[in-house]
Structure 1
Amino acid sequence: MDAALVIDNFPAARRTLRVACVTETWPPEVNGVASTMARVVEGLNARGHGVQLVRPRQKPEQEARTPVQPKVEEVLTRGLKIPRYPELRMGVPSKRALVQLWSLQRPDVVHIATEGALGWSALQAAQHLKLPVASDFRTNFHAYSSHYGLGWLNKPIMAYLRKFHNRCDCTMVPTEGLRRELAERGFRGLSVVSRGVDTIGFAPAFRSAALRAEWGATPDDLVVACVGRVAAEKNLNLLFEAFERIRQAVPRAKLVVVGDGPARESLQQRFPFAIFAGQRRGAELAAHYASADLFLFPSLTETFGNVTTEALASGLPVVAFDYAAAAELIQDGVHGLRAPCDDNAAFCAAAVELATRLANEPAERGRMSANARTLAEGLSWERIVARFEDALVMAMERPGIGARLQPRMAKA
């Protein structure tokens, strides 16, 4: 008789899924949702899952720069311009088309990244076909409205978002703080799935003496940076208020604002001392981060704030409100400083305190830069995508959603 065969560390069977990802923003559009979705889709592919990407068709010049994901099936829908943001497209109602699409090739799970017309159509189509749905709460639309004189829309927008996500089997949120806030507002089925950061694409090694010279900064001067959309909802008036306070303590400090948006022209006129670098991508963006010394992030409308982790990966200490990513990542005096939410005076005081320390103590600048980088190195996208995958499976396993196809089994 043959001896029994014993195999150590036999890889466990794992599920490979057919995932339909629906998003109304995608690179080369520059925003946190687009960049996060691109990394998630790439990560799902790497883990052996099949991905169908449903998104609005972009302008021809954007489509030419869209990153190629050879294993992804792309389904392009009609898109309309978004007022004040001509570089972005929003989807249009497409329920009938999606029902036809998913009837022909049924996905195991539908993931909806955005709550616009295309996202709502995807939710309706998935429910019609009794498909499990996972969603993301990625943008505080209800908070944005108050920055455009539309505060009266806060309640109806929140009601819509609650209705949308409570019809899903699982809603992913990037922080525990946001999970608690939404739970208090009546959202159900919440699961925390954080964000990773590209520690190869963003690193202190991209620091450029030539770029700093363009800004008029010597090797010893303090350069303060802010990266993001130049728009009212980013609370940029506080950025300039804080920097003017910094200049009183550190007269040679420079301010670099990276990004574009509807408020740029007026802010340039009001604050001529600031360097407006415009929108940057790839290696240029990495160099702008790494060539600064301190990152200020005054926004209170983020669900996470990817720029926070990109700054940390670039070796920048961060001053931010005790909110979103900063609340969960930054330790005061280790990676930067946090101010209580909505306390503008405390934010300015923290900015001045840290700027003064970094300007006057080179060893402190080096220590906090190293701490920031070390923190970012623990934010692996591989780990985040694995958690995302768990949330998809959770959505599929929730009871009472209707008949579903079982996912195929494959060896790891």
Structure 2
Amino acid sequence: MNTLTPAGNRLDVEHAAHRSLRIAVVTETYPPEVNGVALTMARVVEGLHRRGHDLQLIRPRQQAGETVAARARFEQVLVGGLPIPRYPNLRMGLPAGRALTRLWQAQRPDVVHIATEGPLGWSALQAARALGLPVSSDFRTNFDAYSQHYGIGCLMRPIRGYLRAFHNRTTCTMVPTEGLRRELEAAGFERLNVVTRGVDTRLFMPHRRSQALREQWGAGPEDLVVMCVGRLAAEKNLGVLLSAHEAIRQIDPNARLVMVGDGPQRAELQARCPQAVFAGQRRGDDLAAHYASADLFLFPSLTETFGNVTAEAMASGLPVLAFAYAAAAQLIRHGINGALAPVDDTAAFVRAAVELAADAAQRRDIGLQARKTAETLDWDSIVARFEGVLRQVMHSADAPATITLPARRHPVA
């Protein structure tokens, strides 16, 4: 397999290995927006900044009149944006090719990294290629899979075609799991490299458990609390969650379901399960306390590229049940540090949920092992690997080939 570093250039690459880089990061979502792409990109950007790199963050203006704070730790460039239909709290960037061309002509970045494939991302890709800048990208959202949940399944192939065309125009596309790498490679995506995601084990931890919070949910010290965290939307497959909860209540009428998050399906879900607690969006310490105060985490989504909530729940000491997909397939060993159901097998998912609900000792043992697994997912090493890929991309500008970096193993306890 070819590498991005031609043999004749290795000494040059090694000489530059510790040089700080000027990195332009283009993303159409960023905190305080709450979603997996925004939160993980913030981790990467902050991590690269701490490692001494010169960061230029390009993102949509999130509200009218927003300006960059005078004391911002790194350069931010705000561009126009529009609310995403049905998600008024999220925005997509408008094309900004001319502005980015002028910006990068005035001061060329060493490398451009594009996190999202929307109008802003596409225009950034075109501008970077026109200027001969090295470009990497992320595959972070299964937009093609989403189409099946919104009555536009006929668009799945065209959307996949657009994503393939987008990413194949970059030197490298980073993906969070080996399973996704294989899936995309089979679909014609090229130059894929696995750079997984981490979890903040100092924020998400079992010691944040709060009996006061459980009392707000109507749960006593011994009552079972089942939790799911994420967007309340069709693509999250939440009907399976409600089926599992109903089955659990057949053996434990006092079991409580807590759903953390918001989205277009909230009213429908409340009508279907009025006894559930809908906690809305939570952040920071408050979110961490919600995780830690539950007893069982159910995550039925089949549209994730990774699924940050899986790692966050594991770090919080929760037994996680998910389909054998995305982060769960990568991190969980069934019956040891979590539980897996075959992909799209709702009956198996429900059976596994009932089994875990009925066995407190098993939940406790699995939760302890889940925490140990999460402790291996430190962000520092992941950001270092991300940086390594950027350096390879930068030095391959004239020699497009496949990136080969040592595979990083994630031990599971």
Structure 2 length-normalised TM: 0.91
**Contact 1:51–1:71, Cα closer than 8 Å, also in 2:** no
**Contact 2:60–2:93, Cα closer than 8 Å, also in 1:** yes
Match of 2:60 in 1: 56
Verify: 1:159 aligned to 2:178, yes or no.
no
**Contact 1:312–1:372, Cα closer than 8 Å, also in 2:** yes
Could you tell me how far 1:393 is from its partner in structure 2? 1.5
**SS of 1:16 mapped into structure 2:** coil
**SS of 2:358 mapped into structure 1:** helix
Match of 2:112 in 1: 110
**SS of 2:162 mapped into structure 1:** helix
Structure 2 CA distance for aligned equivalents of residues 367 and 151 of structure 1: 41
**SS of 1:143 mapped into structure 2:** helix
Question: Which runs of 5 or more structure 2 residues have no equivalent in the other structure?
Answer: 1-14, 401-413
Residues 247-286 of structure 1 correspond to what in structure 2 (within 5 A)?
247-286=249-288
Could you tell me how far 1:12 is from its partner in structure 2? 9.6
RMSD over aligned CA atoms reads 1.8
Structure 1 CA distance for aligned equivalents of residues 152 and 377 of structure 2: 36
> 1:200-221 CA deviation, whole Å, 9 max, x = no partner?
1111111100000111111111
Which of 386, 389, 394 is the aligned partner of 1:388?
386
> 1:375-408 CA deviation, whole Å, 9 max, x = no partner?
1111000011011011112212335369xxxxxx
Aligned partner letter, 1:384: I
> 1:162-202 CA deviation, whole Å, 9 max, x = no partner?
00000000000000000000000000010000000011111
Structure 1 CA distance for aligned equivalents of residues 94 and 44 of structure 2: 24
Deviates more, 1:13-22 or 1:150-159: 13-22
**Contact 1:113–1:138, Cα closer than 8 Å, also in 2:** yes
Could you tell me how far 1:81 is from its partner in structure 2? 1.2
Structure 2 CA distance for aligned equivalents of residues 260 and 326 of structure 1: 22
Match of 1:172 in 2: 174
**SS of 2:121 mapped into structure 1:** helix
Question: Which runs of 5 or more structure 1 residues have no equivalent in the other structure?
Answer: 1-10, 403-412
Could you tell me how far 1:365 is from its partner in structure 2? 3.2
Structure 1 length-normalised TM: 0.91
Match of 2:327 in 1: 325
> 1:88-119 CA deviation, whole Å, 9 max, x = no partner?
11111111110000000100000000000000
Match of 1:15 in 2: 19
Could you tell me how far 1:370 is from its partner in structure 2? 1.3
Aligned partner letter, 1:258: V
Structure 1 CA distance for aligned equivalents of residues 388 and 349 of structure 2: 37
Match of 1:370 in 2: 368
**Contact 2:338–2:367, Cα closer than 8 Å, also in 1:** no
Could you tell me how far 1:246 is from its partner in structure 2? 1.0
Residues 193-342 of structure 1 correspond to what in structure 2 (within 5 A)?
193-342=195-344
Structure 1 CA distance for aligned equivalents of residues 122 and 364 of structure 2: 48
**SS of 2:274 mapped into structure 1:** coil
Could you tell me how far 1:243 is from its partner in structure 2? 0.8
Residues 293, 120 of structure 1: CA spacing in aligned structure 2 closer, same or farther, 3 A cutoff?
A: same
**Contact 1:175–1:194, Cα closer than 8 Å, also in 2:** yes
Match of 2:353 in 1: 351
Structure 1 CA distance for aligned equivalents of residues 223 and 367 of structure 2: 15
Structure 1 CA distance for aligned equivalents of residues 387 and 104 of structure 2: 20
Could you tell me how far 1:68 is from its partner in structure 2? 9.6
Aligned partner letter, 2:20: T
Residues 173-192 of structure 1 correspond to what in structure 2 (within 5 A)?
173-192=175-194
Could you tell me how far 1:146 is from its partner in structure 2? 0.5
Deviates more, 1:66-75 or 1:292-301: 66-75
Structure 1 CA distance for aligned equivalents of residues 19 and 336 of structure 2: 40
Aligned partner letter, 1:375: T
**Contact 2:144–2:157, Cα closer than 8 Å, also in 1:** yes
- Between the aligned residues of both structures, percent identity stands at 66
Aligned partner letter, 1:217: A
**Contact 2:49–2:55, Cα closer than 8 Å, also in 1:** yes
Aligned partner letter, 1:46: R
**Contact 2:94–2:119, Cα closer than 8 Å, also in 1:** yes
Aligned partner letter, 1:309: A
Structure 2 CA distance for aligned equivalents of residues 68 and 384 of structure 1: 30
- Matched length: 386
**SS of 1:14 mapped into structure 2:** coil
| Structure 1 stretches of 4+ moved >4 Å | 66-69
Could you tell me how far 1:253 is from its partner in structure 2? 1.0
Structure 2 CA distance for aligned equivalents of residues 162 and 146 of structure 1: 18
Structure 2 CA distance for aligned equivalents of residues 136 and 340 of structure 1: 27
